[in-house]
Structures are given as C-alpha cells and as structure tokens.
Amino acid sequence: MSQKIFRRVVVTGMGAITPIGLTVDEYWKNLLNGVSGAAPITYFDTTNFKTKFAAQLKNFDPLNYMDRKLAQRVDPFTQFALAAADEAVKSSGINFDNIDKTRIGVIFGSGIGGVKTFETQHKNLLDSSPSRISPFFIPMLIIDIAAGRISIKYGLKGPNYATVSACATASHAIADAFMLIQRGSADIILTGGSEATITPMAIGGFIQAGALSTRNDEPQKASRPFDKTRDGFVMGEGGAVLVLESLESALNRNAQIFAEISGIGLTADAHHITDPAPGGEGAVRSMKLAIEDADLQLSDVDYINSHGTSTAGNDKNETSAIKTLFGAHAKNIAVNSTKSMTGHLLGAAGAIEAIACIKTLQTQNIHPTINYEFPDPECDLFYVPNKSIQKEVNVVISNTFGFGGHNATLLFKRYQQ
C-alpha cells in the first residue's frame, strides 16, 4: 500500500470582529499599541452583578454586513461570524464564480452559541405562552448555524460543521480544517469561531463559577495575565475567520499567502471540569505534538501566543508547561497574551489569536501583554510586558485550553516557497 502524502496548508485570508477593532488592520494596530477593550457593560443593568464590565464590541452594526431581515433572524454570534467571513473572503481574493464550490468547506464553532436568543425566548415563554416563542428560536440558538449560514451565503458545498470545545473551540475548528485539506478532502476551508456571551445569564454564570475579575473600579486594568494581582478573566465577544487553503490551490490562483500552518497538537487533561492538570501536563503534550507534527525542533519556536487568561491557575500552569517542555530555551521565547487587551472570547479566542500570530510572522512585531505590573515568582518567563517589541519570528505556536480539559496548540510558520 502506498503511503499517503499530505499536502501543505497555507493561510490566504483573514477577517476579525473584536472588542479592539472591527477589521484585521484595526485589531492589529490596537494590539501593538496596547489598547484595552474592557469597559462597563452597557447591554444590561449590572446593579446586582459582582462584575460590571466586559470587552464589548464598539460600533458594530450588523446592517453593514447583511440585510435587516437576516440580522433579525440570527443570533449575534452568527452576525459576528458572517461579518468576519466577509472580510476574510475579500482578503483572500477568491472568485467564487470560477471555482469548484464542492471543494470549499466551512468549519466554524462557538463555545456557547445563541445564549442571548435563549434568554430572550425563555422570557417570552415565562411572561406569556409557548406561542410567543419565535419560530426562528432553534435555528438562531444552535451552534452549527454559523457554519451553515456562511456556507449558504457563498454556496460552499464541501465539509460543513461546527466544533464545540469551550475555549479551545476555534483552534479545534482550525485544526480540523488543516487536517481535511492536508488529506485532500477539500482545497479551501473557511474556519474559526465566534462568541456573544455578554448577557445576564452568561456573565452571572461565570461570576458564580468564580472565573471573572471583579476589578470594577479599573476595568481596563482587569485583564492582567501572569501578573501577581490577577483575579480572573474579562469576558469578550466577537469572532474571526481564517481562509485555509492547500498550497497547490493557492499557487494556482496566484493568491497572497499570509503564513503556513504546519502543526497541531490536541490533548485532554482528563483531570477536572474547569481546573487545568497540575503542572500543565496536558499543555506540555499538546505543544510537543504540534512541534513534532511540523517536523521541527523545540529550539525552532520563537514565540508563543499563550492562553493567558489572567486566572491564577491557568497562567501558573501554562508557565510551568512551557518551562517543562522547552527547558533552558523557554527563556529565549517571547510569550504574550492577546486576552490582556481583548478579554476572553471563549470559543472565538483561538481564531483571533491565530490572526495575531500570523500578523507577527508578517510584520516581525510582537504585541505586548498589558497591565503587567507585579511579577509573580511562579510566572517567570518573558511576557512582552506593556510594550510591543520587534523580534525575528519564524515559528509561532498558539495555545488554547478549554473547560473540560480540552487542549489545542496550533503551529504557524513564515511561508517559504
């Protein structure tokens, strides 16, 4: 039996809807400048909430991306998905009129999905009767609808489904897209994740789980990964789409290639529903697998975009995992946290952070971890504190870890023909 030859996979398009920018360029500019997206919540009355702030989108209008009828029939998490897809498709330069759409897929996830829709329709039920529930309730609620809506918009008939793995969701979607293109099941896949969880139930639930910061007097300083005074994460919202494509397909249509994705690592902690495994054991294996998958050495890694949530356990364990795996080389690696500015976008985190990694490969700039003021003896790596740096970066890994013990690591490298 002949051995299957895997194809190279590259990134040819990107789109981002984030609390610090509604385009990739605006998002990247604000990352480099250390802009925080955290501010008091304006979507609902927070009088009785211990946490009164989040990283909301600024000036997002779904009617800039879709007509009013569609905007009213999809949950915000799907609005964000469609908006990000719009920019990603435009940046990719794909002409859908002269391409085989059966070879193009959509793999797109969300950690929680249509929670705003659920809250609204549940109130209709309690206040009135079942007849007041919208006929669009179910298709607005379920997580796969974002992937379905993207495929419908562009007529894409290849692999189409959603991933759901809490904060690792988007990275799992990207990993699946990578594998499907590698093995020849598709030539192009739109992939990523979106989240819209700044709602009373979601914020209240995460407060009760003890996960959110309560630094209400200084919300812009609340997300402080690896800082000794960190007290929880900041909820964010938004979405991002990456266009993954086989190298052959990209070259055939003379596409701009932003970066190459060449390794993935997927593991489970099998330890606890919310707490990471001691010492970051699952993260160690996840990063190691991604590097081996790319046929690289530990010393090849220049930069790690960390999960870096600003929670006590995650930041300590991720630091431990990096030191355990890389040994002395850990001190040479720049480690930062995008979440220090965007907050935690849950199921979209892996996608917006993948874009930050790719922009670093393109520009050789690494954005800072803001709000780093008080060093933690248990977090003693170089976290690019408070100011962006220039550094030669050829290989970067992005970590995302989710409730349930899900670990995903993506490895990107500068594209070389």
pLDDT digits (tens, 9 = 90+) for 344-384: 999 999 999 999 999 999 999 999 999 999 999 999 999 99
Among residues 252, 286, 304, which one ends one of the domains? 252
Looking up residue 41, the CATH number of its domain turns out to be 3.40.47.10
- What is the number of domains present in the chain? 2
Residue 281: which residues within 8 A CB-CB, separation 6 or more?
Answer: 269, 321
The answer as to whether 207 is a domain residue is yes
Same domain, 287 and 170: no
Q: Which one of 172, 344, 367, 406 is the catalytic residue?
A: 344
On the question of pLDDT at 277 being above 90, the answer is: no
Contacts of 208 (CB under 8 A, 6+ apart): none
Query: What's the whole-number average pLDDT of the chain?
Result: 96
Structure confidence at residue 417 (pLDDT): 82
Residue 280 has pLDDT above 90, yes or no: no
Residues 64 and 140 in one domain: yes
User: Is the pLDDT confidence value at 279 over 90?
Assistant: no
User: Residue 1 — very low, low, confident or very high, per pLDDT cuts 50/70/90?
Assistant: very low
pLDDT in tens, 25-76: 999 999 999 999 999 999 999 999 999 999 999 999 999 999 999 999 999 9
Among candidate residues 252, 275, 309, the one where a domain is terminated: 252
307 is catalytic: yes
Mark whether 175 and 297 lie in a shared domain: no
Full DSSP string of 46-92: -TT-S--EEB--SS--GGGTS-HHHHHTS-HHHHHHHHHHHHHHHHH
Q: Do residue 53 and residue 193 come from a single domain?
A: yes
Residue 270 has pLDDT above 90, yes or no: no
Residues 152 and 77 in one domain: yes
Among 39-43, 94-98, 166-170, 171-175, name the one with the lowest average pLDDT.
94-98
- Structural contact between residues 212 and 191, judged by C-beta atoms closer than 8 angstroms: no
Local confidence band at 404 (pLDDT 50, 70, 90 cut-offs): confident
Cα distances (angstroms) measured from residue 345 to each of 169, 285, 381, 404: 10, 24, 24, 17
> Is residue 52 a part of any domain in this protein?
yes
Q: Is 344 a catalytic residue?
A: yes
**Residue 4, pLDDT score:** 63
> Is the pTM for the entire model greater than 0.85?
yes
* Catalytic residue of the set 172, 307, 367, 406: 307
Domain that holds residue 408: 264-413
**What 3-state class would DSSP assign to 52?**
coil
* Spatial contact of 24 and 87, defined as CB atoms under 8 Å apart: yes
Q: Which two tokens stand for residue 260?
A: 């190459």
Domain final position from 252, 283, 299? 252
